[in-house]
Amino acid sequence: RLAIDPNTGKIVWHFQTTPHDGWDFDGVNELISFDYQENGKTVKAAATADRNGFFYVLNRENGDFIRGFPFVDELNWAKGLDEKGRPIYVDANRPGSPAQSADGKQGEQVVARPAFLGGKNWMPMAYSKDTELFYVPSNEWEMDIWNEPTAYKKGAAYLGAGFTIKSVDEDFIGVLKAIDPKTGKTVWRYNNFSPLWGGVLTTGGGLVWTGNPEGYLMAFDDKTGEMVYKFQTGSGIVGSPVTWDMDGEQYISVLSGWGGAVPLWGGEVAKRVKHFNQGGTVWTFKLPKRYQQVAKN
């Protein structure tokens, strides 16, 4: 993570989540600013839910590590984080050295959790100032991973590693979690059969919006997790819902069109989504009055 002075381009501070990364846990995740009260003082913080399965709370003024905790049900590549936020590795669950495959042989295979597609990937989480909770789209999966010789083949990925992504629960892979960043507690959760690969939106009327590969746009009560709305869009939702107001009414829009990394890289997981419809449609909905919070000019 980088903090950059917009006037000069200078890097003010940086924080690395997975040093010496051997699992492809590069953090392509958003960093969200938020404030909270502690011991009578305002803490200017920033949070990220990383691909590696850990949720990090940082001081956004200087990049200092405040706290971190797993936001997935289980991970096995690290025992935890030290006082500076660096992972405490489990050496037995690190893929073998690339040097092991230099002679053309496949390197040692290990099982790592989460899979390289991440406890969370690109899809943004959301924060509510009202509940002071983060709403995190997460996935429970693991991978067999090993190093192997690289060979160029036109149109194919150039990786130097092999992998198979596997589900670890028969009933769900995706989990939408409401997380308290001050304690690490999961306040509520929603389990989804297939992976969650779309972003999350909170609205001032007390709702949490997201979509799933099965095609449903869903709205949850931000305090209880009760699903209050569900609509089948006809294709899987990968994008993020957005909201705006017009003429005193509030609206929600979402793009429906299945694709992306899960069916491409998903291995055994891809079997869960291979029958989902393709598509490309923008859907727009007007919120009921009781859930609207329209900006006043």
Residue 174: which of 139, 141, 208 has the closest Cα? 139
Tokens at residue 120, please? Answer: 């969370």
pTM: 0.94
Q: Which residue has the tokens 């950059």?
A: 4
| CA–CA distances in Å: residue 49 to residues 8, 124, 256, 270 | 28, 9, 24, 24
Q: Which of 5, 21, 24, 82 is catalytic?
A: 24
Give pLDDT tens digits for 174-196: 999 999 999 999 999 999 999 99
What per-residue confidence (pLDDT) applies to 271?
84
Delineate the domains of the chain, giving CATH numbers in brackets.
Answer: 2-291 (2.140.10.10)
What per-residue confidence (pLDDT) applies to 242?
97
Give pLDDT tens digits for 106-120: 778 899 999 999 999
Residues 6+ apart with CB under 8 A from 39: none
Q: Are 58 and 47 in contact (CB under 8 A)?
A: yes
Going by the DSSP 8-state scheme, the letter that residue 191 receives in this structure is E
What per-residue confidence (pLDDT) applies to 295?
62
Q: Is 24 a catalytic residue?
A: yes
| CA atoms of 95 and 81, how far apart (whole Å) | 20
What per-residue confidence (pLDDT) applies to 209?
98
Q: Where are the beta strands (DSSP E) in 15-140?
A: 32-38, 41-49, 54-59, 65-70, 78-81, 87-89, 110-112, 126-128, 133-139
| CA atoms of 182 and 237, how far apart (whole Å) | 31
